[in-house]
Structure 1
Amino acid sequence: MPPAGSWASSAGRRRNMQAIRSRDTKPERLVRSLLHAQGLRYRVAAQPLRNLRRTADIVFRPAEVAVFIDGCYWHGCPEHYVPPRTNEGYWSAKVERNMARDRDTDSKLKAAGWLVLRFWEHEAPEECALRIAAEVSKRRPPSPGRGNR
């Protein structure tokens, strides 16, 4: 029997769901490590826009690039999402809300001039890091100490 007021279908399921990380997941850490090795510096789990209560996984403020590495289950990956078998109404609605929030976040960031890069957790970290680095270098403002060569 789930604890009173709990959305979990069982105590075991509740422990399992509480253990799932919302930040610093393995895919995020791998991509960040590769970006750092390329000399890129960034903010982790930061709000790209101060007035928007949403956080991106990786934020490059001067370049205005926000990176999201979405979990296949929580964000409804078209390749890997499998609908839940227990408490289907709750979890399916939750994933739908996540997807709607993702679209809203993208829209608000783009309207503010930001580039939004979204990757699925199953994508190769090396490919993600290469694409992120390329986009950041395109959008990075020129450094004041460097002359035109």
Structure 2
Amino acid sequence: MSRQVRRGTAPELCLRRLLFARGLRYRVDAPLPGMPRRRADVLFTRRRVAVFIDGCFWHSCPVHGTVPRSNRDWWVAKLDKNMARDRETDTYLSANGWTVLRFWEHEDMELAADVVERVVRKPESGIGLPVEADP
């Protein structure tokens, strides 16, 4: 697992390029405030928007998620823990006034960029609500 790409995956790079081209500036692989050892793929600190691009395997995508046959019980526990950590992160950030945006790696990053731009450029009143894009 130590050899797995943690950041800079193709979907992340695509989304970042699209956001940058739209004039948005952000932090990359940034630590989450108040949550040690947790990071957002893209973070808009002033607007309090955290963006995550979830891998289908590691975050158990309902469409593409799989579980290895070898050592199945360990993998099921590991992937369940990943999903629980994601929900805990979402809950914590939302409770502290952040908007959480999650996209699957297989989603159209152009559409994801539309959602992110709309949320980041929205007036302050709507910040703090979790938002998920359609698969």
Q: TM-score range by the shorter chain?
A: 0.7 to 0.9
| 1-structure distance, mates of 2:63, 2:98 | 27
Gaps of 5+ in 1: 1-16, 142-149
The structure with the larger Rg is 1
Counterpart in 1 of 2:49? 65
For residues 20 and 80 of structure 2, what CA distance do their matches in structure 1 show? 33
Question: Is the Cα contact below 8 Å between 1:63 and 1:139 reproduced in 2?
Answer: no
Note the residue ranges of structure 2 that are not aligned, 5 or more in a row.
Answer: 126-135
> Once the 2 structures are TM-superposed, how far is the Cα of residue 100 of structure 1 from its aligned partner?
0.2
Q: Which residue of 1 aligns with 2:112?
A: 128
Q: What CA deviation, in whole Å up to 9, does each residue of 1:59-111 have, x standing for no partner?
A: 00000000000000000101111121111112111110000000000000000
For 1:35, which of 13, 19, 22 is the aligned residue?
19
Range that drifts further, 83-92 or 114-123 = 83-92
Distance 1:114 1:139, change over 3 A: farther
Q: Could you list the per-position Cα deviations for residues 1-56 of structure 1 after superposition, in whole angstroms to 9, with x for gaps in the alignment? A: xxxxxxxxxxxxxxxx443201111110000000000010000011231x211111
Same amino acid, percent of matched pairs: 51
8 Å contact from structure 1 (residues 70, 120) kept in 2: yes
> What is the aligned partner in structure 1 of residue 87 from structure 2?
103
2:50 is the counterpart of 1:82? no
The whole-number CA distance in structure 1 between the counterparts of 2:7 and 2:72 is 25
Verify: 1:21 aligned to 2:5, yes or no.
yes
- Mark the CA change 1:139 to 1:60 in structure 2 (over 3 Å): closer, same or farther: farther
| Aligned counterparts of 1:34 and 1:18: Cα–Cα separation in 2 | 29
Question: Displaced runs of 4+ in structure 1, greater than 4 A?
Answer: none
1:118 corresponds to which residue?
102
Question: 1:113-139 CA distances to partner (integer Å, 9 max, x unpaired)?
Answer: 000000000000100011101100014
Given that residues 48 and 61 in structure 1 are in contact (C-alpha distance below 8 angstroms), is that contact kept between their aligned partners in structure 2?
A: no
Q: CA RMSD in A?
A: 1.4
CA contact (8 A) 1:72 1:121 kept: yes
Q: TM-score, normalised by structure 2?
A: 0.87
- Normalising to structure 1: TM-score of the pair? 0.79
For the residues of structure 1 that align with 2:72 and 2:103, how far apart are their CA atoms? 26
